[in-house]
A and B are shown apart, each in its own frame.
Chain A
């Protein structure tokens, strides 16, 4: 079994501008992964499956992961002119002030693939792909045409995370019903309040049900 570095080199030899990055893994499991560029992912996938030495013919597991937008607060030292009035005379001096600047690092949806070889009996080789953000650019290429075991698993990720797999032959929701609007495995998912279905004649519950009925239906509600 080749190491991750060797696999990266093999991919880059076969697909010159693949742009593969190694993502190290801090756990004792030592399962380091390869981050693929979605543009060349299909060629890389075909190479990994068809290469005689790697022969990764078995895509075992496809996982979706959600990373939220991160707000990063940085402390920056800023030097700027300050005008002060000292004894009636205006003086301009330079002062260094510490300032906190905040910027948001956009979150992303990630899909992780665990590959094994049934022919050579080795593995796992872990691949990842990331979307540009979590709102409007959530497309990734579908691996279903290379490994069919991705068919239901990609549908599940589309359903629960909202990753849109381009060129998937049958991209529908898998576990939630058609017409459901939200993606329940996202980390900012808010559970719908279904209190109107609660039969308990309890004051608090009834009050919440009343409040719910007066509101519009929020995301994730039926219909």
Chain B
């Protein structure tokens, strides 16, 4: 058996007809993995062609959770879309809120008070920690470690979700940010509770890593599996921990300096090989960097309003124009593109979903690997179907 996609292949040839040659008398077995396969994180299907145990073709099939989110956004006013953004990537509703608020703020040139910027950073980094912890938990779960690592992650995630609930009224569907600030102010008690949770987080990451990072089975299953080349990753628009796992230094928090990220000291962890293990490790290290940001941000949260008093809420009609705003969501670049025609609803409301675009290279990473590895490679992409299908 020979793999068609070798290291010498040029990028422009990537779409040559598939892919692997079949051994002598090998017969192809076509398997439809999903949409109810437990490893697919929801309803997602892969049409896989197998030669024995090896994958020689893999076509993802989408749309089982499609509800035309963009059309709903165009039929609703700008503000009314905010709760719908929670339902995109339902693990990270606060970063979804932020991306949408940022795009609208760019569209109308709206400033955000400093206190609100701090709260946004705090909630977004908490979101990143709980997302990465659960993503790793799910990945290990798919490796066969039933329960324990995932429950470790969920134990910590619950503490963070409790904070979100006491701040916004909801664990996951937070609907918290507004154009020009945040919906409600944080209390001193909430900040103290957050400081307490954040103080416990480094211990959690240490414990989590002691459980996992040196594990022989984890290393055997993930190292050298599902390798993604950096040039292909850039060309295919991969973003987030997947891109950085391949060694490309691109973090929108560092590139765009949106919000107030230029005030905090943090590093961008990078992988060397671009395999599953590197993606896992990048997520672990990103959790540590997020904790650093949280510690810095929680030290001096300034006073003042959380909403710009001049921000218009009722009768919100931006002037005709367009804006694309993006943030570094836990899964990659989450962007919102809005075109206004001067009306109360956006003329065009577009979500740039990192989960969908990160799946572009799923086939490239899986070719030549076993079926059991497909599940792992898929898990290492870290997707949420609410965002893939929209």
Contact = CB atoms under 8 A, between A and B. Distances in A.
Contacts of A151: 236, 360
Interface string A168-197: 011001111100000011000000000000
Interface in A125-176: 126, 144-145, 147-153, 160, 169-170, 173-176
B318 A175 contact: no
A31 B335 contact: no
A144 B109 CA distance: 33
A147 B237 contact: yes
B15 A145 contact: yes
B212 interface: no
Given A148-B360, A185-B68, A175 B63 contact: yes
Chain A interface secondary structure, helix, strand, loop or mixed? loop
Interface string B219-257: 000000000000010111110000000001010000100
A28 B108 contact: yes
Nearest to B70: A185
Nearest to A148: B236
A27 B70 contact: no
B337 A29 contact: no
B253 to A, nearest CB: 12
A32 to B, nearest CB: 10
A57 B356 CA distance: 19
Interface residues of B, number: 48
A: contact size bracket: 35 or more
Given A29-B323, A121-B255, A148 B235 contact: yes
Interface string A26-66: 11110100000000000000000000000001111101010
B324 A124 contact: yes
Nearest to B342: A26
A63 B71 contact: no
B12 A60 contact: no
A65 B338 CA distance: 11
A72 interface: no
Contacts of A15: none
A59 to B, nearest CB: 6
B335 A60 contact: yes
Given A60-B326, A63-B348, A149-B357, A27 B108 contact: yes
Nearest to A187: B74
A212 interface: no
Contacts of A209: none
Nearest to B319: A26
B322 A29 contact: yes
Nearest to B107: A27
A169 B337 CA distance: 26
A123 to B, nearest CB: 9
Contacts of B238: 149
A60 B15 contact: no
B318 A176 contact: no
Contacts, number: 114
Nearest to B326: A60
Contacts of B108: 27-28
A25 interface: yes
Contacts of B324: 29, 31, 61, 114, 124, 126
A90 B39 CA distance: 91
B323 to A, nearest CB: 4
A118 interface: yes
Nearest to A155: B62
A60 B326 CA distance: 10
Nearest to A126: B324
B369 interface: no
B70 A149 contact: no
Interface string B1-30: 000000000011011000000000000000
B333 A31 contact: no
Interface in B296-330: 318-326
Contacts of A206: none
Given A27-B106, A121-B250, A149 B321 contact: no
Contact of B321 (A26, A59, A60): A26
Interface of A: 25-29, 31, 57-61, 63, 65, 112, 114, 118, 121, 124, 126, 144-145, 147-153, 160, 169-170, 173-177, 184-185
Interface of B: 11-12, 14-15, 62-63, 66, 68, 70-71, 106-109, 232, 234-238, 248, 250, 255, 318-326, 333, 335, 337, 339-340, 347-348, 350, 352, 356-357, 359-361, 389-390
22 contacts: A26-B321, A27-B106, A27-B107, A27-B108, A27-B321, A28-B108, A29-B107, A29-B324, A31-B322, A61-B352, A65-B347, A114-B324, A145-B15, A148-B232, A148-B236, A148-B361, A152-B359, A153-B357, A175-B62, A176-B66, A184-B68, A185-B68
Given A28-B108, A151-B236, 10 more contacts: A27-B107, A27-B320, A28-B107, A60-B237, A61-B335, A65-B347, A65-B348, A148-B237, A173-B63, A175-B389
